[in-house]
Amino acid sequence: MSAGWNAVSMPTPATDAALSISNLHAYYGESHILHGVSLEVAKGELITLLGRNGAGRTTTLKAILGLTGKRTGSIKINGTEAIGLASHKIARLGIGYCPEERGIFSSLSCEENLLLLPKVGAGLAANKGLSVDELYAMFPNLKERRTSQGTRLSGGEQQMLAMARILRTGADILLLDEITEGLAPVIVQTLGRVIRELKVKGFTIIMVEQNFRFAAPLADRHYVMEHGEIAAVVEKHELAAKTEMLHEFLGV
Amino acid sequence: MTEIFGVPIQSLMGQLMIGLVNGSFYAMLSLGLAVIFGMLNVVNFAHGAFYMMGAFFSWLLLKHFEVNYWWSLLLAPLGVATVGVVVEKTMLRWLYQLDHLYGLLLTFGLALIIEGFFRDQYGVSGQPYDLPDIFKGAFDLGFMMLPKYRAWVIVACLSVCLATWFVIERTRLGSYLRAGTENPKLVQAFGINVPLMVTLTYAFGVGLAGLAGVLAAPVYQVNPLMGSNIIIVVFAVVVIGGMGSILGAVVTGLALGLIEGLTKVFYPEASATVVFIIMAIVLLIRPAGLFGREK
């Protein structure tokens, strides 16, 4: 096999994509929820999935992790095809997941919740997670409440905990589902600061967000979903020009 | 001679001791059931059969391979756990998506098959398992004689229960288990191999039953029916303690053993039914069980 042949047939490496989804279909039992979703997120980018309730945003996050029923299409995570993998193996490719319902375990203390998640990501990446001390510095409340039962924490504290625990694991791709939902403005501000800090640190972030004012200044790109499809893509610099269209899609 | 309510203290103590031994077995068996139910949502009706299997393994090991009691304590539960792994991986695994009832039916059928197999091979008359020499004789406590082997059974069962409780409530492995009991899908999405954990949990639960069987072999006779005799009471224990509660299973098991013993002294006619009477009362007052959480 000649070097020339090799050079021609080698696929061009995806441009540093952390997450590359193409033609993703997902089902819950018999119902077909996602109808060919495609999106690509480069390392270090922050994107949002916008849309009305039921548009398929949460399902997209769940489908990435293999938490839906049947899935077809392609999901490449840090270069590895994940469509056929079991959900724990997908997580180990370097994904941290913050579910909409926060998923704090009531039979675990705050600190046990924080320490529950195993290290993920390949090789050195797994050691890159933030230390418990760094996390307590970032979220001082959690330190005070560390022996409390997980679900005795306030909503804001639970949200901090749900964020903090995925930062410990070394995951470099964060899937954040409605992290500002139902929280006081001051806590939303704290979360905004944390997200900005994470972006500087090079995390790749996919946010499902209802609070457009929270998401707009943070995101590099917005994907608008409708009926389980990507209906529009809006780059950061197009925001001003396309505000009207966005409002129409989001029904605000 | 001292008496309490007209009962000589020695016979009272004797029955309490037997009650405590029975209670230790109830505790260990219901603990395994509780752990399995918590993680798999399966009511393991084959639990009694695995207990019987443990006793038979240790009897067979002694008879055919001259493996002594101490090695049996290790090998027989491992053997039972291995059977558990096969059962979970080849059969139970397919039922998690379905209603609880299917797991119950499957394990009930398994229990009948396992029991039938041993009945066919070894008949229904019990096989004696000789006590190791070290356990022959009794301690004289002054007010009563305490057979050495009974003392050992109580100590061993309680230690195993305590160790299990400690691992589940106080260690990292246990935190996986507790979290997995609450929300297995999410735990798996965090990168923990939940299917493996489920297999090992089942293996551990039935291994505990096997261990109880080994401990029981010298006390009761090794008999294919020994499992179905005890398991009905153990299910009552689990219902009274509350499905899925570790501590509840252990405490209730011991308490009911003692209550049974006491009933034998004061009103022998009711000793076989007292557990079920208590179960009925508890179900009326606290349907989730004494230690269970209402859902």
What single-letter amino acid sits at A165?
A: R
Judged by CB atoms closer than 8 Å, whether chains meet at B179 and A108 is answered as: yes
pLDDT at A127: 60
Q: From CA A50, how far away is CA A251, in angstroms rounded?
A: 11
For domain A13-250, give the fold. Answer: Rossmann fold (3.40.50)
pLDDT of residue A7: 42
Q: Could you tell me the two tokens for B106?
A: 């499957």
**Residue B108 exposed, middle or buried by CB count within 10 Å (0-12, 13-18, 19+):** middle
Nearest CA of chain A to the CA of B169: how many Å? 9
Chain A residues touching residue B185 (CB < 8 angstroms): 67, 87
Q: What residues in B contact A166, CB-CB < 8 Å?
A: 190
Spans in chain B with pLDDT lower than 70: 1-2, 244, 293-295
pLDDT of A8: 44
Whether residue B178 and residue A105 make contact (CB cut-off 8 A), yes or no, is yes
Residues 6+ apart with CB under 8 A from B121: none
What residue ranges do the domains of chain A occupy?
A: 13-250
d(CA A235, CA B144): 85
Tell me the whole-structure pTM to 2 decimals.
0.87
Q: Is A97's CB within 8 Å of B189's CB?
A: yes
In CATH terms, B3-285 corresponds, of 1.10.3470, 3.90.930, 1.10.20, 1.25.40, to: 1.10.3470
Q: How far does A151 lie from chain B, in Å, by closest CA?
A: 12
- Contact state of B190 with A112 under an 8 Å Cβ cutoff: no
What are the distances in angstroms from CA A241 to CA A231, B276, B285? 17, 74, 65
Task: Note whether A36 and A74 are within 8 A (CB).
Answer: no
Distance to chain B for A121, nearest Cα, Å: 10
Q: Which of residues 182-241 of B touch A (CB under 8 A)?
A: 182-183, 185-195
> What chain B residue is nearest to A100 in terms of C-alpha separation?
B186
| pLDDT score at A3 | 43
Instruction: State ipTM.
Output: 0.87
Tens-digit pLDDT profile for residues B214-241: 999 988 888 998 998 899 899 999 889 8
Interface test mutation site (partner A, options B96, B181, B190, max chain A beta carbons within 10 A): B190
Q: Which of B179, B181, B189 sits opposite A116 (nearest CB)?
A: B179
pLDDT score of B51: 96
Partner A contacted by B171 (CB < 8 A): no
Q: List chain B domain ranges.
A: 3-285
pLDDT score recorded for residue B280: 93
**pLDDT of amino acid A1:** 39
Q: List the pLDDT tens digit at each of the 252 positions of chain A.
A: 344 444 444 444 445 789 999 999 999 988 999 999 999 999 999 999 998 888 999 999 999 999 998 999 999 998 899 999 999 999 999 999 999 999 999 989 999 999 999 888 765 555 678 889 989 998 888 999 988 988 889 988 999 999 999 999 989 999 999 999 889 999 899 899 999 999 998 899 999 988 888 888 899 999 999 999 998 898 988 888 888 888 877 775
CB contacts < 8 A, A to B, total 58
Q: Do B188 and A106 touch (CB under 8 A)?
A: no
Of A86, A97, A106, the CB nearest to B182: A106
